[in-house]
Amino acid sequence: MEAGASLIGGCCGTNPEYIRTIAAMLRGVAPASARRRETTRRPLLASRTSVHDMSKGFSVIGERINPTGKKLLRESMRAGEWGVMLDEASAQAREGSHVLDVNFGVEKFFSEQSVRDAFIALDRAAPQPLSIDVQSLDLMEAAMSEYPGRPLINSSACDEKSLSQKLPLLKKYGGMMILLAMKSDISNDPSERLEAVEGALDHAERLGLTRDRFVVDPLVLSLGAGFDHRITLETIRLCSEKGLYTTVGLSNLSHGMPNRSGINAAFLSMAMDAGLSGAIMNSGDNVVTQTLFGAALLKTGKLEDGVTGEETDPLVEALLSGRSKVVDAMVDEKLSSGASPIEVSQDFLGEAMERVGGLYEAKKIFLPHILFAAETAFPVFDRLNAMMTGDGACRGRVLLATVEGDIHDIGKNIVATVLRAGGFDVIDIGKNVPAEKIVKCAREHAPDIVGLSAMMTTTVGRVSEVAESLRDAGLKVTVISGGASMNAELADMYGVGYADNSSGALTLCKELMDKAC
């Protein structure tokens, strides 16, 4: 503890007895005060795989997962079918939304379990942090308890009743919360709106919740109903002077008005000049998003990062969002147009998986996404493989093992999933496997490729041992390797192939089989 460590735990191979012993030894021991690190609190939102810092640039919160006025989305969500919702999530992600707001409309049609299911589906399919736009306390808690990230809670009024119900949930489950600049009524005085917010923040601080956990909604009301937008602009300015983050429901402004995009865009520019930090908005509205870029450039001298409208591959999007029915339909369309099963497998679905691997290598997606895509593709590859009879298909068989003395198998399991999704027949014989067993299984299954995982520096030499054992046994099989302790130089020394991740393993195996055909 003299080094200042705050957390101590165990890695693979430790057990409950070890953890109990360490805990007993350290009970009551604090990190050395002289080495304690200073931390800076920031307004962070997070999904399972990404983080958004609301203090860095303008935060675009996608508004379109909201069934109000959208019959197809409404009916599908009520039926527990999440495909349309996931389509909206994917579209807003492509457009550059930093956060996705999730609203269920009339909440009486949803159970706690259906809300959990929706957030599970979105967590798997959408990399962006989510905003939980739910008012029922039971449904809000169901969403917060299920979501594995740090969400934005939308929202709470600043009155005592609302705060006493919702702030304990925020403290229990984490995240940030939008505070509506109102108590029971909405004041027409910007100073009174700020006063309500300040009272709510004082209440939160008494509960141990710091101000960086909150975003203020200065309240945008409809011009068509006669409300004065200048009150909102002044509230934004007052909040900005206090160092508070702000966001608005931009579309509320133009409700019932003509030329809504133009009105929203003009107000957005004025609000950004007053200090607005973000907006719940339609990231697909080009008029609004182009205004956002222009306003950011004029205000800060920098182009705003985010909303781009960039086009992506529909098949890749379907794989990454787990929409297996869409993938099936696209494959069937290719087959009905005259393509053979092997052509569809290798040139359509296989190439899409390679593009998924490219996104992973570029760090645009992460391991959960590539695994999800592989799980979605795997049954489709299986179906195509079953259709391939005497068509010249050149698929391969891969035997996978973690070498003796090494109990790590997470990376190997990921490689197995991705290879299977790539059309390979994979035989996984587990972890801590002695060389003689690998040789025996290679004789029995006659693989084209043997893949070896070595995560530890103490076991990496086993790769060479297994390769030599296979050669001594007269087995002409290609050996490839990977793992944290392996690298291209070692692999070359041992006379084996090397891949540094699962997508690289898929590419390498395809190249090896292409040469063999």
Give the C-alpha separation, 141 to 206, whole Å. Answer: 22
Give the C-alpha separation, 512 to 345, whole Å. Answer: 17
Only one residue has tokens 């079918």, namely 81
pLDDT per residue as tens digits for the range 287-330: 999 999 899 888 877 655 555 444 568 898 888 877 888 899 99
Give the C-alpha separation, 11 to 394, whole Å. Answer: 41
Give the C-alpha separation, 283 to 490, whole Å. Answer: 48
Beta bridge partners of 179: 156, 216
pLDDT per residue as tens digits for the range 465-483: 999 999 999 999 999 999 9
Q: Beta-carbon neighbour count of residue 18 at 10 Å?
A: 12
Q: Please report which helix (H) or strand (E) contains residue 344, including its range.
A: none
Residue of higher predicted confidence among 16 and 36? 16
Angle between helix 190-206 and helix 160-173 axes, rounded to 10 deg: 50
pLDDT per residue as tens digits for the range 99-138: 999 999 999 999 999 999 999 999 888 889 999 999 999 9
Residue 37: band (very low, low, confident or very high) from pLDDT cuts 50, 70, 90: low
Residue of higher predicted confidence among 451 and 409? 451
Q: Beta-carbon neighbour count of residue 24 at 10 Å?
A: 8
What is residue 33's predicted lDDT score, i.e. its pLDDT? Answer: 58
Give the C-alpha separation, 460 to 452, whole Å. Answer: 10
What is residue 457's predicted lDDT score, i.e. its pLDDT? Answer: 87
CA nearest to 284, candidates 496, 130, 65: 65
pLDDT per residue as tens digits for the range 189-198: 999 999 999 9
- Cβ contact 440:470 at 8 Å: no
Report the chain's mean pLDDT, rounded to a whole number: 90
> Which tokens in the block code for residue 251?
């579309």
What is residue 311's predicted lDDT score, i.e. its pLDDT? Answer: 52
What is residue 305's predicted lDDT score, i.e. its pLDDT? Answer: 56
- DSSP per-residue letters across 106-167: SGGG--HHHHHHHHHHHHHH--S-EEEE--SHHHHHHHHHH--SBPEEEEE-SSHHHHHHHH
Give the C-alpha separation, 322 to 477, whole Å. Answer: 35
pLDDT per residue as tens digits for the range 207-244: 999 999 999 999 999 998 899 999 999 999 999 999 99
Backbone CA torsion sign across 10, 15, 16, 21: negative
Q: Beta-carbon neighbour count of residue 506 at 10 Å?
A: 26
Give the C-alpha separation, 200 to 3, whole Å. Answer: 40
Residue of higher predicted confidence among 1 and 59? 59
What is residue 486's predicted lDDT score, i.e. its pLDDT? Answer: 93
What is residue 413's predicted lDDT score, i.e. its pLDDT? Answer: 83
Q: Is the pLDDT of residue 276 over 90?
A: yes
What is residue 308's predicted lDDT score, i.e. its pLDDT? Answer: 47
